């Protein structure tokens, strides 16, 4: 690799040719502050927070965009640089809602941190005209408050480039510029898919999920309600970050302990229903292969992906697996099978889910998601909301003991755990499908070809005389690329896994937010996924069809995978939606 030699703050630095000043400074252990920059997504040099001095340059330059060259001398901490950054922040604050004490991002706001670092006062700064906006609450999953927006454009960039949707962008010009939808439509009136990736990258409190924690606390306080909680696999790999633990720390035991102390009557694992999903989805795949069904079969676990398909690929709805998501399956089984066994009226059960996903807030309101005549899931909260609940009641999360999920709906296999990573659903399905097709036990249950954080992965497996072609995509722009190849005949697959969020659920829109200083230089997705793969490797059972609780469920209640009763409870339908953007 060709390198160049430069000086930063008088110190020699060797960096790869083609690097920006920002990237070179990172190699020298210098974090240059940014607000608008997201590597590979939003590289526009608009906010001017990252400016530095370059010897010989006539003005300060944006380090996120400016390439290095041999012999360059850079100063990142001169009085001129610091004064410029401070004035930029003062100008941003002059048109910003400064109610920091009541803001959901207080303590984790990137703007707030920069203002503290540079000692920016919050009173009397360029007082004058203010633009005032109404909060957009039209979507099921989020609130959009432009009074806290700093026009960094991270949200519109991730919506357009990463997700390929582009329902938000800059409207008007000059002082009136604002980030909104076309024709000032409410977000809920567009073809937004509720993925929450815009929330994940927002540096301030302008974009937040709709907080459902008050509903959960009210249910817990109601003596007539039996409140059950289920947690998705990705939550355990992200929750610890909210309490200062390293990215990728698996906190399953402490999470269960915290939920029990919050007052839930039962603490269950969505992984149980992930195993159930594999039993139904693998059966559906084999049926389509053997009986000439519609192929490729496409997974249906990601509600953001499902809504995207309904809006943008309605002609491919028949390709979708009819299986409900594991979250919804869990609710359906809880309010039917479990309720009957325990003698509990389903109307008195409040099913709460903790998910890494904001689209789950939309999913719980979908039609055909009420197996017992009541909603399968009543309330869905994000990983972030659970962290708030833990803090609100004063639990010292880090000192909690490790505890296990309740049985029987807390029992699962390694195949279910890896659902949270891109490729995990595919691998879990293959573990079961291959053993069913061959009638033989796999010597190694790992399918490494579908692992990793690449946007698109594909593989072919020769099984029982068949060549099974599979593909995995995460992030909806990648999904579009893959589906266009399928529609054009360029690619031929039997089974496709698609996750709405890049990297899968571990990078869901409801996971703890990480600042740009971390996002730009750390593979967060890989670290969180590693926690799940490590747990899978350590589990005694690693294939869904080996789960004794799943076997009992079919023996006692459902009959067999794909049965009439299974279809009544565990499968769903889809709708064709229009495109508004």
**476 and 509 Cβ atoms separated by less than 8 Å:** no
Return d(Cα 167, Cα 174) in angstroms, integer.
21
Report the percentage of the chain scoring pLDDT > 90.
96
Helices 383-392 and 252-262 cross at an angle (nearest 10°) of: 60
Q: What is the pLDDT of residues 169-224, one digit of tens each?
A: 999 999 999 999 999 999 999 999 999 999 999 999 999 999 999 999 999 999 99
Compute the average pLDDT of residues 315-320.
Answer: 98
Backbone angles phi, psi at 32, to 5 degrees: -80, 125
What pLDDT does residue 20 have? 97
The residues spanned by each domain of the chain are 3-77, 127-209, 214-570
User: What's the DSSP call for residue 376?
Assistant: S
* CATH number of the domain located at residue range(s) 3-77 in this protein: 3.10.20.740
Return d(Cα 431, Cα 493) in angstroms, integer.
18
What pLDDT does residue 515 have? 96
Name the 3-class secondary structure at 379.
strand
Task: Pull the structure tokens for residue 52.
Answer: 């530095």
Residue 580 has pLDDT above 80, yes or no: no
Cα dihedral across residues 325, 327, 330, 332: positive or negative: negative
Compute the average pLDDT of residues 57-82.
Answer: 96
Q: How confident is the model at residue 581 (pLDDT cuts 50, 70, 90)?
A: low
Range with the lowest mean pLDDT among 60-74, 126-140, 509-523? 126-140
Q: What is the pLDDT of residues 407-434, one digit of tens each?
A: 989 999 999 999 999 999 999 999 999 9
What pLDDT does residue 385 have? 98
**514 and 241 Cβ atoms separated by less than 8 Å:** yes
**What's the CATH architecture for 127-209?**
2-Layer Sandwich (3.30)
> How big, in percent rounded to 5, are the helix, strand and coil portions of the chain?
40, 15, 45
Backbone angles phi, psi at 404, to 5 degrees: -100, 155
Beta strands in 17-60 (DSSP E): 51-54
User: What's the DSSP call for residue 554?
Assistant: I
Residue 55 has pLDDT above 70, yes or no: yes
Task: Pull the structure tokens for residue 402.
Answer: 């490790």
Compute the average pLDDT of residues 61-79.
Answer: 97
Return d(Cα 143, Cα 149) in angstroms, integer.
12
What is the signed CA dihedral for 426, 432, 438, 442, rounded to 10 degrees?
90
Residue 272 has pLDDT above 90, yes or no: yes
Residue 305 has pLDDT above 80, yes or no: yes
Distance of CA 256 to the CA centre of its chain: 21
For 126-167, give the DSSP string. S---------B--SSSEEE-GGG-----HHHHIIIIISS---
Q: What is the pLDDT of residues 249-260, one digit of tens each?
A: 999 999 999 999
Backbone angles phi, psi at 36, to 5 degrees: -90, -20
Q: How confident is the model at residue 579 (pLDDT cuts 50, 70, 90)?
A: confident
Contact partners, residue 378, CB within 8 Å, separation at least 6: 219, 331, 350, 351, 352, 364
Return d(Cα 268, Cα 223) in angstroms, integer.
20
In 10 A of CB 416, how many CB atoms?
33
Residue 124 has pLDDT above 80, yes or no: no
Compute the average pLDDT of residues 288-296.
Answer: 94
Task: Pull the structure tokens for residue 494.
Answer: 């039997």
Return d(Cα 513, Cα 225) in angstroms, integer.
33
The continuous run of DSSP H or E covering 469 comes out as strand 466-474
For 272-321, give the DSSP string. HHHHHHHHHHHHHHHHHHHHT--SSEE----HHHHHHHHHH-GGGGGGB-
Distance of CA 308 to the CA centre of its chain: 15
Return the closest-CA partner of residue 473 out of 494, 490, 458, 461.
458
Q: How confident is the model at residue 33 (pLDDT cuts 50, 70, 90)?
A: very high
Report the percentage of the chain scoring pLDDT > 70.
100
What pLDDT does residue 130 have? 86
What pLDDT does residue 271 have? 98
**212 and 152 Cβ atoms separated by less than 8 Å:** no
**What's the CATH architecture for 214-570?**
3-Layer(aba) Sandwich (3.40)
**322 and 572 Cβ atoms separated by less than 8 Å:** yes
What average pLDDT does the chain have?
96
């Amino acid at each position: 690799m060709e390198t160049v030699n430069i000086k930063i703050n008088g110190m020699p630095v060797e960096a790869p040719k083609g690097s920006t000043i920002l990237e070179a400074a990172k190699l020298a252990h210098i974090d240059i502050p940014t607000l608008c920059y997201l590597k590979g997504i939003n590289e526009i040099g608009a906010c001017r927070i990252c400016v530095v001095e370059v010897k010989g340059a006539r003005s300060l330059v944006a380090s996120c965009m400016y390439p290095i060259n041999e012999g360059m001398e850079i100063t990142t901490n001169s009085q001129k640089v610091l004064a410029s950054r401070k004035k930029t922040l003062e100008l941003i604050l002059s048109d910003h809602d400064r109610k920091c004490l009541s803001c959901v991002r207080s303590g984790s706001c990137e703007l707030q941190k920069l203002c503290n670092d540079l000692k920016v006062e919050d009173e009397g700064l360029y007082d004058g005209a203010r633009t005032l906006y109404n909060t957009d609450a039209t979507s099921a999953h989020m609130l959009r408050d432009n009074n806290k927006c700093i026009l960094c454009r991270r949200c519109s960039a991730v919506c357009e480039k990463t997700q390929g949707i582009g329902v938000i962008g800059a409207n008007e010009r000059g002082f009136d510029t604002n980030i909104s939808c076309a024709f000032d439509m409410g977000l809920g009136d567009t073809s937004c898919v509720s993925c929450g990736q815009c929330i994940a990258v927002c540096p301030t409190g302008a974009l937040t999920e709709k907080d459902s924690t008050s509903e959960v606390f009210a249910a817990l306080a109601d003596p007539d309600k039996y409140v059950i909680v289920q947690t998705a696999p990705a939550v355990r790999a992200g929750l610890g970050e909210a309490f200062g633990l390293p990215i990728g720390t698996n906190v399953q035991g402490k999470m269960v302990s915290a939920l029990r102390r919050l007052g839930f009557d039962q603490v269950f694992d969505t992984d149980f229903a992930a195993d159930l999903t594999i039993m139904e989805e693998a059966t559906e795949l084999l049926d389509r292969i053997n009986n000439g069904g519609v192929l490729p079969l496409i997974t249906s676990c990601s509600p953001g992906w499902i809504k995207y398909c309904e809006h943008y690929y309605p002609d491919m709805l028949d390709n979708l697996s009819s299986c409900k998501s594991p979250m919804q399956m869990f609710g359906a089984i809880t309010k039917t099978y479990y309720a009957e066994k325990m003698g509990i009226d389903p109307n008195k059960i409040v099913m709460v889910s903790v998910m890494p996903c904001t689209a789950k807030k939309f999913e719980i309101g979908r039609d055909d998601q009420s197996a017992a005549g009541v909603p399968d899931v009543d309330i869905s909260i994000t990983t972030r909301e659970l962290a708030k609940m833990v803090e609100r009641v004063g639990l010292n999360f880090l000192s909690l003991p490790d505890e296990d999920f309740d049985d029987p709906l807390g029992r699962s296999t390694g195949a279910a755990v890896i659902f949270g990573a891109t490729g995990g659903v595919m691998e879990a399905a293959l573990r079961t499908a291959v053993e069913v097709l061959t009638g033989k036990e796999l010597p190694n249950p790992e399918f490494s070809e579908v692992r990793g954080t690449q946007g698109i992965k594909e593989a072919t497996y020769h099984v029982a005389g068949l060549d099974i072609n599979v593909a995995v995509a995460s992030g909806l722009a990648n999904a579009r690329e893959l589906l266009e190849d399928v529609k054009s005949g360029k690619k031929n697959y039997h089974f496709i896994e698609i996750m709405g969020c890049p990297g899968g659920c571990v990078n869901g829109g409801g996971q703890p937010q990480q600042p740009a200083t971390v996002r730009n230089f750390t593979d967060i997705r890989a670290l969180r996924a590693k926690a799940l793969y490590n747990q899978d490797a350590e589990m005694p059972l690693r294939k869904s069809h080996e789960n004794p609780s799943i076997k009992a469920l079919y023996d006692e209640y459902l009959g067999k995978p794909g049965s009439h009763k299974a279809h009544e409870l565990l499968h769903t339908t889809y709708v064709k939606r229009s495109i508004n953007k």
